[in-house]
Amino acid sequence: MADLKKLDVFFSLNSFQEEELRDKAVVVIDVLRASSTIVTALMNDAKAIIPVADMGEASKIAQNVDSENYLLCGEKDGIKIEGYDLGNSPLEYTREIVGGKKLIFNTTNGTKAIKKSIGSSNLYIAAFLNVSAIAEALRKETKEIVLICAGWKGRLAFEDMLLAGNIIHLLSRGELPESSRDGAKVAFGLYDKYGDDITSVIHQSNHASRLKELDVSSDIDYCCQIDTTDIIPRLKEGMITLKND
């Protein structure tokens, strides 16, 4: 059973060291948009997602696999990378396109946060789209839990902290122990204040403004939907697949 006094939240991918995650259950969060895209791809029957840290790693893998069964996917600064099959809009990841495929996935912050967390005991991927399923999985965890917000280039991203707060609210049933860690208190408090108005507050976030400049506002609405699926993506042997037990 999860011990909420030990649960912590890291606000960006630069706010922790790999060693801190050893023997912990980790949840990586990148609401806009990497974790929402991962959840959508698996919901639409992608076979697996291979997160990579950069373009070099992505092309090395792509060169050694059969291109019929793999898609090269991702973005740099929000924009689809030249030569890639797909960018990072979850709306592109339809069943027709990703069903049965393995995706090599490379994003500015989200996949880097996943790669940095690879030494943890269990690693889950959360979005608002699957928030209750993630909370349910965490409830059964016996390890200490760390929620990692990918953020944006080392900075905090409002929408990631808000989802961390939502997960903590669900886990604590709205009553966070006073002795909780600071990161958990901050995320809990943020959700307390803004949790009734998720879509409109996320629309006012810094990353939403960047995405609006790229003309992908519909992605923001999509990523703010709650519990559209109960899938639990988790990392195993370098690939993100569905947890089946």
**Residues found near ligand 3SL in the complex (CB under 6 A):** 30, 32-34, 75, 78, 88, 107-110, 150
Task: State how far the alpha carbon of 94 is from the alpha carbons of 90, 135, 145, 230, in Å.
Answer: 8, 26, 32, 17
Q: Which is nearer to ligand 3SL, 67 or 218 (CB)?
A: 218
Phi, psi of 29 (to 5 degrees): -125, 125
242/234 Cα distance (integer angstroms)? 6
Q: Which is nearer to ligand 3SL, 111 or 166 (CB)?
A: 111
* Closest distance of CB 53 from ligand 3SL, Å: 11
* Closest distance of CB 212 from ligand 3SL, Å: 11
* Closest distance of CB 192 from ligand 3SL, Å: 26
Q: Which is nearer to ligand 3SL, 12 or 180 (CB)?
A: 12
Peptide bond into 155 cis (omega under 30): no
Q: What is the DSSP letter of 31?
A: T
Q: Which is nearer to ligand 3SL, 78 or 165 (CB)?
A: 78
Q: What is the DSSP letter of 54?
A: S
Residue 236 bridge partners (DSSP)? 239
* Closest distance of CB 36 from ligand 3SL, Å: 8
Q: Which is nearer to ligand 3SL, 97 or 170 (CB)?
A: 97
* Closest distance of CB 78 from ligand 3SL, Å: 3
Handedness of CA 75, 77, 83, 86 (dihedral sign): positive
Q: Which of 239, 228, 219, 242 is nearest to 37 (CA)?
A: 219
**H helix count then E strand count, the chain:** 10, 10
**What is the Cβ-side half-sphere exposure of residue 170, based on CA atoms within 13 angstroms?**
19
Q: Which of 156, 171, 176 is nearest to 31 (CA)?
A: 156
120/132 Cα distance (integer angstroms)? 22
* Closest distance of CB 6 from ligand 3SL, Å: 27
Q: Which is nearer to ligand 3SL, 104 or 176 (CB)?
A: 104
* Closest distance of CB 136 from ligand 3SL, Å: 25
Q: Which is nearer to ligand 3SL, 89 or 166 (CB)?
A: 89
